[in-house]
Amino acid sequence: MYRYDAMVFADLDLSRRLERAEGQACLEFAEARSSLYPDSGATWIESAGAYAVFDGVDSPVTQSFGLGLSEPLRPVSLDRIESFFLERGAGVVHEVSPLAGIETIDLLCRRGYRPIELSSVIYRSVERPVKKDYGAAVAVRVAGVEDAPLWASISARGWAHEHPELRDFLEHFGAVAFAREQSVNFIAELDGEPGAAGTLCLHDGVALFGGASTIPEMRGRGLQTALLESRMSYAADRGYELAMMVTEAGSQSQRNAERKNFRIAYTRTKWRLYRS
């Protein structure tokens, strides 16, 4: 069982916990790919308290988490992380919390990094949702191993709605995500037909709510809300008291989460090395 004070402040301690949880989810993704595809070269290292994950040259998982949070970021540590990516032919990308401090940002700027993305890291306490009657039409269940292809297909169909050319990539990506060791995967059904998929990554008392996806023809029918509340109940049942999401800064996803009592811990910057 994990226990936190009733009031959790958006401070350095919280940032360390949240970034560690997401870094753990990403390194487990690389471990899952390595297990499924031993020749992929997927791997990870820890340096100066940060995780650096390689999942392939073009993978969005290939980046680091936690720079400057556990200890000051020094050039020798950054050298090691940069070499880890460059030796594998990958770009060097870091997700950096503002709680890492101005010294971390200054070092990145002096090394030739530029910001390429902003995201909102949002959180709330885990509380059992008030039981709602969705009617017999909506049901949510934990997906078993045999559901892996179905889960990956639903997830891909939802995410690729506006970019159908990405569906094969997303389905393959989903199959790897499903295989992560500490993730629990959920399927929401409407009238017995699977229509939405979501995941929950669990680490050190933090329940990371991975993006949930609903197929276009079943949107607006309550599946997203049912998925969120089912995952919240699952986390509550197991003593997790801190819920986390990451969204595009200022996005509709952020607003939807804020309506569910999530609040912004900080706005995170993704930095990429452009040094020649």
pLDDT digits (tens, 9 = 90+) for 189-225: 999 999 999 999 999 999 999 989 999 999 988 999 9
pLDDT at 159: 93
pLDDT at 133: 63
The CA radius of gyration of the chain, in Å to the nearest whole number, is: 19
pLDDT at 8: 84
- Integer Cα distance of 252 and 269 in angstroms: 19
Q: Do the strands 206-214 and 63-65 form a parallel or antiparallel pair, or are they unpaired?
A: unpaired
N-term to C-term CA, the chain: 49
Q: Is 2's pLDDT higher than 50? A: no
Task: Please state the rounded mean pLDDT for residues 12-25.
Answer: 97
Closest to 273 (Cα-Cα) out of 88, 76, 78, 27:
78
pLDDT digits (tens, 9 = 90+) for 108-156: 999 999 999 999 999 999 998 876 665 668 999 999 999 999 999 999 9
**Residue 248 pLDDT class (50, 70, 90 cuts):** very high
Q: Torsion over CA of 94, 50, 61 and 199, rounded to 10 degrees? A: -120
Least confident span in 90-99, 122-131, 178-187: 122-131
Domain 127-240 = CATH 3.40.630.30: yes
Q: Do the strands 63-65 and 183-190 form a parallel or antiparallel pair, or are they unpaired?
A: unpaired
Q: Cα 66 to the chain's mean position, in Å?
A: 14
Q: Could you identify the residue written with the tokens 């990403």?
A: 26
Q: Is 30's pLDDT higher than 70? A: yes
Q: Distances in Å between the alpha carbon of 90 and those of 20, 31, 84, 115, 124? A: 22, 18, 9, 17, 35
The domains of the chain are located at 12-120+267-273, 127-240
